[in-house]
Amino acid sequence: MKRIVDKISAFAAHPVARSSAIVLFGTTMANAGAYAYHLVVGRILGPEQYGELGSLLSLLYLLNVPSLVLQIVLTRYIAGFRANNELGRAKTLSISFMRRLSLLLFVGVLIIVPLTGVIAEFLHIAHPVSVFYIYLTAALWLLGIVQASLLQGLQRFVPAMVISNIAAVLRLVGGVIGATFGVVETVLAGVITSIMTFISYFFPLQFVYKAQAQPTNITRKEVVAYTIPSLLSMLAITSLYSMDIILVKHYLPPFEAGLYAALSVMGKIIYFASSSVSYVLFPVVAERKQQNAGSERLVYSGLAAIGFVSASITAGYFLFPEFALFLLFGESYYPAAPYLGWLGVFLSLYSLNYILVTILLGLGNARVWMLVGVAAVLQVVGIIMYHRDIVSILTVNIVVMIGLLLSLIVYYRHAVTKH
């Protein structure tokens, strides 16, 4: 008994384990709100309209790639500032990025407006204005990610989780109201809730903006040299997460596309359940790299934790697919039951790939984009060639994920050995 108590005490005392537990609890609650959103909205809209919303949300994930890249870049630098207790440099960096992004996003409006009709036609979206609303949501996420990166890089995980849960509640309420009117109103509600979430970030970050500003001493060349490969890496890894849904919407009938959208939501439970580990590990790995300290043991522990969680959920999907679908979407989605377990395999492999990509970026190995880029291209080409049904698309996804995982493990071992 004493040994068990000692192990629990050691776990609670470990900063990464403790932080991971906080983030796991926070993300679990936020994800519960996110899945309540899909549960209610999916039932209100029905399979065909939900398929349309699913394709729009997949477009949002692709447009959100700059946000993912920005979070990686800013978190890496802010973690370094934290290691040297340089809060003023973090303040200067965040304000500089906010100003430049505001101008860039305004230019983006001028570009996206003429393209909304073309995008809507390709995705069979009834109202092109929905595409514009998706862009606005992505733009607000991009601005908000500057604030989120400050919290993550400074390892302020509690306020970060509080805001995540506030955002989930706002999105759920907005989604319920919007879905009663249609897809356009559902997407518009997302814009409104994104504005409210962005504002909420300023409250826990007052201590940063009250600090004395200091020059960052980061050159534009240094930022670009890290940002461009990071952008390519996250674009590719996000493509692996989203392009299958977009291509399914294009190639398969509306009912099957709606089923696949529901499957993807179920599969993403695996990704969200394991994302707390990578959220905590990235700033810790980046900080240890700045301090010339090793992090291999933490990485392997993180991979083992993600593997265990993913395998457990996937096993449940194989054993009780109809029950799982009933909990979130109801009986009308039962035709998707035979595919749920295999979708779980795909997202389990994706989760392991994702954490390896972010860890390599945290270590400064930005060339990982080459491996992920090849995998993303192979996925798209494979689905274009083999899209007869849901089984064909899942087969392509799983084969590509296995190949990517093996290559990333080899690359990580090489990077660690070289370091």
Residue 2 lies in a domain: no
Alpha carbon distances (Å) from 274 to 41, 42, 341? 24, 24, 17
Of the candidates 175, 171, 169, the one whose C-alpha atom is nearest the C-alpha of residue 44 is 175
Residue 410 domain boundaries: 16-418
- C-alpha 89/C-alpha 150 separation (Å) is 11
Q: Does residue 217 belong to any structural domain of this protein?
A: yes
């994920």: which residue's tokens? 401
In which band, very low, low, confident or very high, does the pLDDT at 402 lie, cut at 50, 70 and 90?
very high
Q: Does the pLDDT at position 419 exceed 60?
A: no
In angstroms, the CA 324 to CA 342 distance is 14
Query: Is 118 within a domain?
Result: yes
pLDDT(351) > 80: yes
pLDDT at residue 14, rounded to an integer: 52
Question: Rounded to 5 degrees, what angle do the CA atoms 123, 383, 376 make?
Answer: 95
Summarize pLDDT for 184-225 with one digit per residue, the tens. Answer: 888 899 899 989 998 898 889 888 888 888 887 777 777 777
Least confident span in 174-188, 214-228, 383-397? 214-228
Q: Return the pLDDT at 414.
A: 78
How many structural domains are present in the chain? 1
Q: What is the pLDDT of residue 298?
A: 75
Q: Quick check: is 11 in a domain?
A: no
Q: Which range is most confident: 9-18, 211-220, 370-379?
A: 370-379
Q: Evaluate whether residue 181 is within a structural domain.
A: yes
CA distance 219 to 271: 35
Confidence (pLDDT) at 399: 93
Q: How confident is the model at residue 349 (pLDDT cuts 50, 70, 90)?
A: very high
Q: Within a domain: residue 7? A: no
Instruction: Give the Cβ contact number of residue 191 at 10 Å.
Output: 18
pLDDT at residue 233, as a whole number: 85
Average pLDDT over residues 74-82: 82
For residues 88 and 384, what is the distance between their CA atoms, to the nearest angstrom? Answer: 50
Across 306-327, average pLDDT: 85
109 found inside a domain = yes
Q: Which amino acid, residue 339?
A: Y
Listed in sequence order, the residues at least 6 apart from 388 whose beta carbon sits closer than 8 Å to its beta carbon are none
How many secondary structure helices (H) and strands (E) does the chain include?
16, 0
- Is residue 154 in a domain? yes
Going by C-alpha positions, the residue among 401, 349, 411 that lies closest to residue 375 is 401
What's the mean per-residue pLDDT of the chain? 81
- Above 50 in pLDDT, residue 8? no
Treating both helix axes as pointing N-terminal to C-terminal, what angle do 220-251 and 390-418 enclose, rounded to 10 degrees?
A: 160
pLDDT at 336: 80
Give 11's pLDDT tier (boundaries 50, 70, 90).
very low
Neighbour-count burial of 418, counting CB atoms closer than 10 A to its CB (0-12 exposed, 13-18 middle, 19+ buried): exposed
Instruction: Say if residue 331's pLDDT is above 80.
Output: no
pLDDT band at 4 (very low <50, low <70, confident <90, very high): very low
Least trusted range by pLDDT, from 67-71, 117-121, 276-280, 355-359: 276-280
